Amino acid sequence: MKYDFEQLSNVNITGIDISSLNEEELAVLYAQARYCQAMTDADIDTMRELVSEDMVFTHMSGRQQTREEYFSDVADGSLNYFTIGIADPVIKVDGDKAQITYTSVLNANAYGARGTYRMKGTHRYEKRDGAWIAVNR
């Protein structure tokens, strides 16, 4: 499968040689990058495609939201992402489970606070029907 990272114009991946990744690692990175692009585009349909229905989002403030609460805030502009960097990603795949740890570099307006936010985190994925889907655990 060809992964067109170039089409993800609002996502900047740094600190990794993409050509060194195996097929599954590349697929997980591409799923994460597609999700980040969908965040910047406020493309809720793509976000729903890439995230499990029971996902709970935790903000840097500690506030938690269900998937639909979070998506509603992206859709109405309460959370407005302009660009997202994926810095120094480390991808681990074990069968149908995977995780990607990286530093997010978010240029965003989050609930009225405009700025660039750097956060290190781990995102977990599960392979379902041949596609990598973001999950809580």
Residues 6+ apart with CB under 8 A from 57: 64, 65, 66, 67, 69, 70
Structural domains in the chain, CATH included, are: 5-135 (3.10.450.50)
pLDDT in tens, the chain (137 residues): 689 999 999 999 999 999 999 999 999 999 999 999 999 999 999 999 999 999 999 988 889 999 999 999 999 999 999 999 999 999 999 999 999 999 999 999 999 999 999 999 999 999 999 999 999 98
pTM over 0.85: yes
Q: Which of 48, 35, 53, 54 is nearest to 102 (CA)?
A: 35
- φ/ψ region of 51 (left if φ > 0, alpha if ψ in -120 to 50, else beta) reads beta
